[in-house]
Amino acid sequence: MKLPVSHASAEAVRSGGACWSLPSFDYEPLTRLVFGPGSLSKLGELVCELGGTRVLLVTDPGLEAAGHPQRALESLRSAALEVFVFDGVEENPTTRHVD
C-alpha cells in the first residue's frame, strides 16, 4: 500500500531536506494496526476490547533495554489482565524460538 505524500513532503525527502513523520492512524483492514504516540499505553484497553483475559508477552533483550515490555506490562496489568512474560527470545528470532 502506498501512502499519499504531499508535494512539499516529497520534495523535502528527495532533496534531503527536513525529516517528516507519519501522522497517527488506526488502520483496520483484515488485521487491526494501531499506530501513533501513546499507542502502547492503549494495549490493555485493546486486549479487553477483544475479550482477552490472559496475555503472553514475548520480548527480547533489545526491547527490554528500550523499556517497551515494561510499558506494555503496565498497561496490561492496569486493565486487570493476567500476563505471562516470555523473555527467552533472541533478537531477530527464528522458528527455533517458536519451537
Q: What is the pLDDT of residue 71?
A: 96
Domains identified in the chain, total number: 1
Residue 98 lies in a domain: no
Q: Are strands 25-27 and 33-35 parallel, antiparallel or unpaired?
A: antiparallel
pLDDT tens for 60-76 read 989 999 999 999 999 99
pTM of the model: 0.65
CA gap 25, 35 in Å, rounded: 5
By the 8 A CB rule, do 85 and 69 touch?
yes
Residue 97 lies in a domain: no
By the 8 A CB rule, do 75 and 41 touch?
yes
Q: What is the DSSP letter of 75?
A: H
pLDDT tens for 19-57 read 678 788 887 778 888 999 999 999 999 999 999 999 999
Structure confidence at residue 7 as a pLDDT band (50, 70, 90): very low
Domain hosting 75: range is: 7-92
CATH of the domain at 12: 3.40.50.1970
Q: Are strands 54-58 and 82-86 parallel, antiparallel or unpaired?
A: parallel
How many other CB atoms are there within 10 angstroms of residue 58's CB atom? 15
Residue 68 lies in a domain: yes
Residue 50 lies in a domain: yes
Q: What is the pLDDT of residue 91?
A: 82
Q: What is the pLDDT of residue 18?
A: 59
Residue 40 lies in a domain: yes
